[in-house]
Chain A
Amino acid sequence: QLQLQESGPGLVKASETLSLTCTVAGGSISNADYFWGWIRQPPGKGLEWIASIYYKGNTYYNLSLKSRVTISIDTSKNQFSLKLSSVTAADTAVYYCGRLGSFFRLVDYWGQGTLVTVSS
C-alpha cells in the first residue's frame, strides 16, 4: 500500500521560505506511470494545485504561484520537495502531497496533510 508523508516546519515567518518534503513509502517514486505533486487548502477555502513533477525532473507550476515556487525530486531518497518563497499570511494552509496520474487525470494517493502557518 502506497503511503505519502509530508514533513517540515509548521510555522514560517512572513517573507521567509516555506520548505516541505514528501516521503513516499510502499512504491517507487521513479514509476514512469505517475507524477507527484503538491496541493494546498487555506483555512475555510478550497483546494489549490501548486505544482507537479515527474521522476525525470519535468516540472509543472500553477501560473499564479510560479514565480515563488520550486518543486524538486530525489529519486535516491524516494522523496520530493516544495519550496515557496516570500510567504505571507495568505500562504497559511494545509499542504498535501499526492501521486498524480498521467495528464494529472487523478490524484489517487494523498498524504495526511500538514498545516503550515505563516506568522508575522
Chain B
Amino acid sequence: QSALTQPASVSGSPGQWITISCTGTSSDVGGYNYVSWYQHHPGRAPKLIIYDVSNRPSGVSNRFSGSKSGNTASLTISGLQTEDEADYYCNSYTSSSTMVFGGGTKVTVL
C-alpha cells in the first residue's frame, strides 16, 4: 500500500487561505468517503481536524474544511493564523481493510 500523495510544503500569509491536496487511487481515497485529516505540531500527538471527507469534530475551528473529487481529497484552511503552522496528514481507508496516510505537508505561515 503506497502512501497517499501530498505536497511537501504549502505556505501563506496570515488571513489568506491555502489548500492541501491528497491524491490516492480508486482503492482508497476514490473508493470511500473515509478520508480524515490530522494537524501535527512537533512534540505533540496528532489532532483530528476532518473526518469522513468534510466533517469537523466538535471544537475544531470552522476555518478548516475538507472536500473530495475523484481520487483527490483536499483540506482548505481559511483565515490562516500563525497557530496553523504545523504538519498536516491525510488518511484513507483502503479496499484491503487497512488505512494509509499521506506523506505529510508542512504548512508555513509567512
Q: Which residues of A contact B (CB under 8 A)?
A: 39, 46-49, 52, 60-64, 96, 100-101, 103-108, 110-113
Contact = CB atoms under 8 A, between A and B. Distances in A.
B3 A110 contact: no
Main secondary structure of the interface of A (DSSP, over half): mixed
B106 to A, nearest CB: 10
Nearest to B40: A47
B89 A47 contact: yes
A64 B94 CA distance: 14
For B46, B87, B104, the residue with the greatest tally of chain A CB atoms inside 10 Å of its CB is B46
B68 to A, nearest CB: 13
Contacts of A63: 1, 96, 98
B12 interface: no
28 contacts: A39-B101, A46-B3, A46-B89, A46-B101, A46-B103, A46-B104, A47-B89, A47-B101, A48-B101, A49-B101, A52-B99, A60-B98, A63-B96, A96-B46, A103-B32, A104-B93, A104-B98, A104-B99, A105-B51, A105-B52, A105-B93, A106-B36, A106-B48, A106-B52, A107-B91, A110-B47, A111-B45, A112-B45
Interface of B: 1, 3, 32, 34, 36, 38, 40, 45-48, 51-52, 57, 87, 89, 91, 93, 96-104
For A61, A96, A107, the residue with the greatest tally of chain B CB atoms inside 10 Å of its CB is A107
B1 A64 contact: yes
Contacts of B34: 103-105
A103 B46 CA distance: 19
Contacts of B102: 46
Contacts of A107: 36, 38, 46, 48, 91
For B32, B99, B103, the residue with the greatest tally of chain A CB atoms inside 10 Å of its CB is B99
Given A48-B101, A49-B99, A107-B48, 9 more contacts: A46-B103, A46-B104, A47-B38, A49-B101, A103-B93, A104-B98, A106-B48, A107-B46, A108-B48
